[in-house]
Amino acid sequence: MNADAKPAIVVVRRFDASPERVFDAWLDPQIARQWLFSTPDGEMVRAETDARVGGRFTFTERRDGEDIEHVGEYLVVDRPSRLVFTFAVPKYSTEYDRVTVEIRRLDKGCELTLTNEMSPEIYREWGERTRSGWTMLLDGLAALLGDEKRA
Amino acid sequence: MVERTSAHLDAVFHALSDATRRAMLSQLSSGPRSVGELAAPFSMTFAGASKHVKVLESAGLVRREVQGRTHVCRLDAARLSEADAWLRHYERFWTTKLDKLEELLIADADRQKPGKGSAQ
């Protein structure tokens, strides 16, 4: 086990769509603007991606008259199986998370595994705002940390 | 407090990165245990178990009291709960996004149905 493993969450989801369609949905600005960093009440005012290794993205959403920018850089772009990017919301934090999207082809559709490794710095800022007792779920937490998945 | 929180979170995740320590926390979630009791399932020495307890203690996850010759350990859930809440916030974020993506893909597939089947 890696001693400085970062806190991470893993979300797995199956889709009926092909791996290519699911992969492209992350990078095609016309599709990504509809779901990726959008919220129900916001208005996406800018969605730009430079979908290559070292390329950057910007998604700006207007929420209550305020522009919230989501930025990051693509680290791995391997269509249709693997996408890795950094991600930050500069308004809230200068720290970057790292998101890995892995897509595995199934007989019908595909399975997507998303891993979000977080910078503990973000926790400091976030934690201060929401310091209240949410329910403790030890098993859930252990599963989320999932070192057995990494091996 | 503010500047300590992040270091605390590192300590919490370090403590949780070990399967033995996670198993110890599980044991403690059903009530206080002595260090000897915590060591038992792992056929571990007192010193070995005590080392793990020390890591849990420094992360603020466990409190140890010395009662005579016995060291009694108790779970301190507050810190764990914070870390958990933080992770869940992210989990919800991505779950919501993927829900939306799924919706879009389904709507798009329906639109294409009269045509020649699935797109590349």
Mean per-residue pLDDT pooled into runs of 10, chain A (151 residues) = 58 92 94 88 94 96 91 96 93 83 95 83 48 33 42 36
Residue A151: predicted pLDDT:
36
Q: List for chain B the helix, strand, coil content (%; round to 5).
A: 70, 10, 20
Collapsing DSSP states into helix, strand and coil, what is residue A39? coil
Q: Do B105 and A16 touch (CB under 8 A)?
A: yes
Note whether B5 contacts A: Cβ–Cβ < 8 A: yes
User: Helix B77-112 and helix B2-16: axis angle, to 10°?
Assistant: 80
ipTM: 0.73
> How far apart, in whole angstroms, are the C-alpha atoms of residue B102 and residue A16?
9
Say which residues have a Cβ less than 8 Å from residue A53's Cβ, sequence separation at least 6: A74, A75, A76, A77
pLDDT along chain B (120 residues), means of 10: 55 82 85 91 89 93 90 86 78 91 90 57
Give the model's pLDDT for residue A105.
97
Give A147's contacts in chain B (Cβ within 8 Å).
17, 19
From chain B residues 61-100, the ones with a CB under 8 A of any chain A CB are 77-78, 80-91, 94-95, 97-98, 100
DSSP string, B19-67: HHHHHHHHHHTTS-EEHHHHHGGGT--HHHHHHHHHHHHHTTSEEEEEE
Asked if B120 and A39 count as a contact pair (C-beta separation under 8 A), the reply is no
Residue A144 with chain B: CB contacts under 8 Å:
87, 91
Distance CA A22, CA B31 (A): 46
- E-strand ranges in chain A read 8-15, 43-49, 56-63, 66-78, 82-87, 97-105, 110-117
